Amino acid sequence: MIAFDADDTLWHNESLFLDTQEKFRELLLQYQDAEWIDKKLYETEIRNLEHFGYGVKGFVLSMIETAIELTDGRISGSEIQTFVDFGKKMVAAPVEVLDGVQNTIEALSKTYPLMVITKGDLFEQETKVARSRLGHFFKHIEVVSEKIPASYQAVFKKYEIDSKRFMMVGNSLKSDVLPVLECGAHAVHVAYPTTWAHEQVDSKVLESIHFPKLDRIDQLPDLIQSMINQKI
């Protein structure tokens, strides 16, 4: 079984948040400087994970709270409506499948059962899978609320997957690689240009851990072949 992360592995996602954050920042520059806005928004997002989890709706609520805080409550209702509208646009934004994904997934699906394991908002992830037109290549779509070892163990149990015959492919070291290795399964890192600060991993943690790293997803079939040849 080969499992893929979705956001920033199969399609662009972080860029959508960054673009929205840029528009948010521009609207608030009259009240505060850019650095302060970014810092406060990030702090609010992290604090709100506990209440709202991952996804666009939580992000919108964090933008609203940040804007209220930095204007001491003076921000107007109509400005706040703009942030809600940002959220609606994000949810409806075209799903931009990353270069090489379509061909790679199609090729691998002929030999291996594939699945998606993604964290975040169920509603948002399901609509993205549908709009990506990749859904039919995957045997299962699993949306989990956090990507920790226990979540992967639960998926293995649910689908009766042998962890030694499972490979996770994703762009987040924290979510897609480290917890999977901890479960005794295979993990492959595929680079994405930007990583949300919350997903970043201390470089020291990585020094002692070895796993394949790819620059592009279309290098995956060759990697898998060479792992089979070497009986890894």
Q: Would you tell me which residues interact with its own copies (CB under 8 A)?
A: 51-54, 57-58, 60-61, 64-65, 67-68, 71-78, 80-81, 84, 87-88, 91-92, 121-124, 126, 140, 143-145, 158
The minimum distance between CB 222 and its own copies, in angstroms, equals 32
Bridge partner list, 97? 11
DSSP 94: -
The minimum distance between CB 144 and its own copies, in angstroms, equals 8
The minimum distance between CB 140 and its own copies, in angstroms, equals 7
CA 104 to chain centre: 19
Nearer to its own copies, 85 or 99 (CB): 85
Contact 179, 159 (CB under 8 A): no
Nearer to its own copies, 25 or 140 (CB): 140
| Burial group, residue 8, by CB count within 10 angstroms (0-12, 13-18, 19+) | buried
Amino acid in position 145: S
Nearer to its own copies, 57 or 213 (CB): 57
The minimum distance between CB 30 and its own copies, in angstroms, equals 14
With vertex at residue 2, the alpha carbon angle to CA 54 and CA 182, rounded to the nearest 5 degrees, is 65
